[in-house]
DNA sequence: TTGTAGGCGTTATCAG
DNA sequence: CTGATAACGCCTACAA
């Protein structure tokens, strides 16, 4: 781990000036003889450019930060999976921040943009506060927000459309003949919880179905809480024939409880999840789930940011990625008669490629 | 996005020298009056330190790279989840590399260490080649390898013990009274495939069970291939009473096929997976799975690296993380009578916290 | 074609 | 306690 060689070392060894070394290294016109000497010296010394010094001079780090709320959340991981290759192929390194769902940490990340250790930032905040907006307005590097920002905020942003997503699911259930469609939601004081709850109500209205408080159960976005919520719901409304769950974990909890209660899925009760995570394809019966396009949003965000990094100016852009419904066994047809369809889930096969090395 | 203020800007404004500014900013002894002037100027200008310039001067970037083969692989993600907080709390940023299982990319990462854009590297290579070893020997920054390296390699490394892992599973099945225990493996020319296959054979031998070629089926590490393999196995050996699967996806495929064949799990056939991914807890019946401690390995690797970054020298260290068996419904007792136990899986509840923002 | 010199933004040494 | 000044490693006018 001796001190690495610099262009000075090379210059000495090759008997030329550091300017010539730099020229050769950057492919600028130089005499053949000089090129040879420099290359030889560089090779022998095992020279590698110092990225920090280059950055200081060029004012570009070739790094982009992605700030996610939670490294454990599959939705963010889906974004990450798409963002990574896009940035990589454009020559950028990815700096990963996990803000642990702490707003102060998000603010820190925004603030640290001023340190110029990255050329740009993609951020998926839980909630956009006043502090966010101020820092965004003053940001010294391009930022793309994945999520919604207030109208008028001058930032590129890529949003999901959970309203339409819920509607796709409800329409699907309705088309299957279900009429007592319940909603199992997470807390209403979260952005997704509120949005999904409202969308459910609207979708019912548009179909001419009555909104019934008894059919709505609030729990939390976890499996155990989902199970508990569904158990209560079932006790109150035994005749429910479909469950719209606010995420996949809740839906898994629902399957647990339905099974224990002797209900068949989907014959007696159809179940729909949201987010279309890997778990949806893995469960049994496999889970119909609303994809809000996390992967797509990540990809679009990365591309928007790259545009800015290429110097493209212009008005802030707002992209909405359409949701889609991944239909699986938990709603469509008699699951118990179906032959297994291992390749069904669209995420199968790219998970867990080789196990882990010994 | 005007050019940000530097210590020069501040110095001018406060009417002091840049040296004084630097002192104040770094908390070095300075007259109160000077401190006040500098702080005031810095505040008004919204000054933020330039990380690149600091790095150039200090020769430390406060960044660490983690190179994984595949951003989609749950085993690596488990490592990432542990590595991230450890580094963060020590003040390091995480640079994420996905090498897409391409050896050349891994070599690139190793080579780029010379660019000094990070202070250290954690790498989980698929396979360690000669090229790896050469670069590791010449590395200009500390490296920790997650995985096995040849004896004598002078690098810290953290390894799993899949041999013991397989044995835990086989012993468990044996204790449950299973005697016709089959192995559904991935390709034998992969490191995990070979290791797991050999471990299976040994474990049987130690229990005094005969090794039977008919009980071994090779497929690939995916769900569909796993299903196919199990179907063949079942056709050949209808009386098999336990399946040791080389990873969780194969095990999910096994569940698909067993269900279609009318076999009950675990009454007729017990099933064990490996890697203990989120999918294991999500499936139904939930899957007993051998954890090779991916999370733990990530954590240990990060800690080893931090030691080195703190300047601790000494001989390369080799840590082996012990595997453990996560027992769930697919082996233990009559799954169909059990009440749902949504909180059972040890990864539940930290997955998909809030869904994705609208 | 090549070398000298200045600067990117900080930190740190060394006189005053 | 403070202010010049010299690095850190690289790039790039400008001059030779």
Statement: the CB of B17 is under 7 Å from strand D: yes
Measuring from the CA of residue B17 to each C1', which nucleotide is nearest? D3
CB of A111 within 7 Å of some strand C atom: no
Give the nearest chain B residue to A320 (CA atoms): B358
Q: Does the nearest atom of strand C lie within 7 Å of A31's Cβ?
A: yes
A333 plus A228 within the same structural domain = yes
Do B78 and B294 meet the contact criterion of CB atoms below 8 Å apart?
yes
CA distance to partner chain B, nearest, from residue A194 (Å):
9
pLDDT in tens, A283-301: 989 999 999 999 999 999 9
B63 with A95: Cβ contact below 8 A: yes
What's the pLDDT score for residue B356?
Answer: 39
Closest nucleotide over all strands to B33 (CA to C1'): D1
**Residue–nucleotide distance: A34 CA to C12 C1' (Å):** 37
Of A55, A211, A301, the residue nearest B115 (C-alpha):
A55
| Alpha-carbon span A6 to A12, nearest angstrom | 10
- What residues in B contact A227, CB-CB < 8 Å? 340, 342
pLDDT in the model for residue A3: 79
Does residue A180 share a domain with residue A88?
no
Residues A199 and A130 in one domain: no
A94 CA vs D8 C1’ separation (Å)? 25
Contact list, B1 vs chain A (CB under 8 Å): 139-141
Closest CA to B287 of B338, B229, B248, B230: B248
pLDDT value at residue A343: 29
**What are the tokens at A18?**
């550091």
Closest chain B residue to A187, measured at CA = B354
User: Of B1, B7, B52, B87, which to mutate for an interface test with A (greatest number of A Cβ within 10 Å)?
Assistant: B52
Using the CB atom, is residue A9 less than 7 Å from strand C? no
Q: Is the CB of A53 under 7 A from strand D?
A: yes
Q: How many Å is the maximal CA-CA distance in chain B? A: 89
Domain that holds residue B71: 63-161+295-321
Domain boundary among A17, A34, A56: A56
A328 and A216 share one domain: yes
* Whether residues A151 and A169 fall in one domain: no
Whether residues B357 and A274 touch (CB distance < 8 A) is answered with: no
Selected for mutation to probe chain A from B55, B282, B295 (highest A CB count within 10 Å) is: B282
User: What is the distance in angstroms measured between the alpha-carbon CA of B89 and the sugar C1' of C6?
Assistant: 40
- Same-domain status, A124 and A242: no
Shared domain for A76 and A121, answered yes or no, is yes
Residue B354, in any domain of the structure: no
Closest residue, chain B, to A222 (C-alpha): B349
Residue A13 lies in a domain: yes
Q: Is residue B258 part of a domain?
A: yes
What is the CA A39 to C1' D16 distance in angstroms? 25
- Write the CATH number for A187: 3.40.50.2300
Give the number of other CB atoms < 10 A from CB of residue B318.
Answer: 16
pLDDT of residue A71: 87
Q: Is the CB of A89 under 7 A from strand C?
A: no
Asked if A108 and A133 touch (Cβ cutoff 8 Å), the reply is: no
Query: Is A357 a domain residue?
Result: no
The reply to whether the CB atom of residue A59 sits less than 7 A from any atom in nucleic acid chain D is: no
For residues B139 and B133, what is the distance between their CA atoms, to the nearest angstrom? 10
Hey, which residues does B96 pair with through a beta bridge?
A94, B66
Which residue is nearest to the C1' sugar atom of D5, using CA? B19
Question: Tens of pLDDT along chain A (358 residues)?
Answer: 567 899 999 999 999 999 999 999 999 999 999 999 999 999 999 999 999 999 999 999 999 999 998 888 888 999 999 999 999 999 999 999 999 888 999 999 999 999 999 999 999 987 888 999 999 999 999 999 999 899 999 999 999 999 999 999 999 999 999 999 999 999 998 888 999 999 999 999 999 999 999 999 999 999 999 999 999 999 999 999 999 999 999 999 999 999 999 999 999 999 999 999 989 998 989 999 999 999 999 999 999 999 999 988 889 999 999 999 999 999 985 433 333 333 222 222 333 334 433 3
**Tokens standing for B314?**
């000494």
Interchain contact, B222 vs A49, CB within 8 Å: no
- Give a yes or no: residue A2 inside a domain: no
Count chain A–chain B contacts defined by CB atoms under 8 A: 306
End-to-end distance of chain B based on CA atoms, in angstroms? Answer: 29
Decide: CB of A16 under 7 A of nucleic strand C.
yes
Strand C-proximal residues of B, range 88-147, CB below 7 A, are none
Q: Please tell me whether residues A335 and A306 are part of one structural domain.
A: no
Least Cα separation, residue B171 to chain A (angstroms): 20
Q: What is the reported pLDDT for A351?
A: 34
Query: Among the three residues A56, A75, A91, which one is the final residue of a domain in this structure?
Result: A56
Point out the residue nearest to C5 (C-alpha to C1').
A19
CATH of the domain at B41: 1.10.260.40
Task: Please check whether residues A71 and A127 belong to one and the same domain.
Answer: yes
Q: How far is A305 from chain B (nearest CA, A)?
A: 15
Closest CA to A225 of A191, A193, A184, A173: A184
CB–CB of A275 and B352 under 8 A?
A: yes
Q: Which residues of A233-249 are buried (b: 16+ CB within 10 A; e: fewer)?
A: bbeeeeebbbbbbbbbb
pLDDT of residue B205: 96
Q: Nearest Cβ partner of A160 from B72, B284, B356? A: B356
One domain, residues A210 and A331:
yes
Predicted confidence at residue B2, as pLDDT, reads 61
Please indicate, yes or no, if residue A108 is contained in any of the structural domains: yes
CA distance A14 to B333: 75
CA of A311 to C1' of D10 (A): 23
Task: Tell me which chain A residue has its CA closest to the CA of residue B61.
Answer: A52
A chain contacts of residue B329, beta-carbon cutoff 8 Å: none
A352, part of any domain = no
Residues 54-83 of B with CB under 7 A from strand D: 56-57, 59
Nearest to A357 among B100, B191, B224 (CB): B191
Q: DSSP readout, A291-321? A: E--HHHHHHHHHHHHHHHHTT--SS--EEEP
**Do A196 and A329 sit in the same domain of this protein?**
yes
Instruction: For residues A196 and A328, state if they share a domain.
Output: yes
**Using the CA of A18, which nucleotide's C1' is the nearest one?**
C3
pLDDT per residue of chain B (358 residues) written in tens, 0 to 9: 567 899 999 999 999 999 999 999 999 999 999 999 999 999 999 999 999 999 999 999 999 999 998 888 888 999 999 999 999 999 999 999 999 888 999 999 999 999 999 999 999 987 888 999 999 999 999 999 999 899 999 999 999 999 999 999 999 999 999 999 999 999 998 888 999 999 999 999 999 999 999 999 999 999 999 999 999 999 999 999 999 999 999 999 999 999 999 999 999 999 999 999 989 988 989 999 999 999 999 999 999 999 999 988 889 999 999 999 999 999 985 433 333 333 222 222 333 334 433 3
How many structural domains comprise chain B? 3
* Strand D close to B29 by CB, under 7 A: yes
Burial class (CB in 10 A: 0-12, 13-18, 19+), A1: exposed
């Amino acid at each position: 781990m001796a001190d690495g060689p610099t262009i000075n070392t090379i210059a000495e060894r090759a008997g030329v000036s550091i300017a010539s070394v730099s020229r050769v290294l950057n492919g600028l016109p130089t005499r053949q003889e000089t090129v040879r000497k420099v290359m030889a010296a560089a090779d022998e010394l095992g020279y590698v450019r110092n990225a920090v010094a280059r950055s200081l001079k060029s004012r570009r780090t070739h790094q982009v930060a992605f700030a996610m709320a939670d490294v454990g959340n599959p939705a963010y991981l889906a974004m990450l999976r798409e963002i990574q290759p896009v940035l990589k192929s454009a020559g950028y390194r990815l700096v990963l921040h996990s803000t642990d769902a702490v707003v102060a940490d998000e603010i820190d990340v925004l603030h640290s943009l001023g340190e110029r250790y990255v050329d740009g930032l993609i951020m998926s905040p839980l909630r956009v506060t006043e502090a966010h907006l101020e820092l965004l307005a003053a940001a010294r590097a391009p930022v793309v927000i994945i999520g919604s920002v207030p109208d008028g905020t001058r930032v590129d942003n890529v949003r999901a459309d959970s309203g339409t997503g819920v509607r796709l699911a409800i329409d699907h259930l309705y088309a299957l003949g279900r009429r007592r469609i319940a909603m199992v939601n997470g807390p209403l004081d979260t952005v997704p919880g509120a949005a999904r709850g409202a969308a459910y109500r609207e979708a019912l209205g548009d179909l001419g179905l009555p909104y019934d408080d008894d059919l709505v159960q609030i729990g939390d976005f976890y499996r155990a809480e989902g199970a508990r919520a569904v158990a209560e719901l079932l006790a109150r409304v035994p005749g429910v024939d479909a469950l719209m769950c606010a995420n996949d974990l809740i839906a898994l909890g629902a399957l647990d409880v339905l099974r224990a209660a002797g209900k068949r899925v989907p014959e007696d009760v159809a179940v729909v999840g949201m987010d279309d995570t890997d778990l949806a394809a893995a469960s049994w019966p496999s889970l119909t789930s609303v994809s809000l396009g996390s992967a797509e949003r990540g990809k679009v965000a990365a591309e928007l940011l790259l545009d800015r990094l290429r110097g493209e100016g212009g008005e802030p852009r707002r992209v909405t990625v359409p949701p889609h419904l991944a239909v699986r066994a938990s709603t469509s047809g008699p699951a118990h008669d179906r032959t297994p369809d291992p390749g069904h889930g669209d995420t199968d096969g790219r998970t867990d490629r080789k196990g882990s090395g010994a």
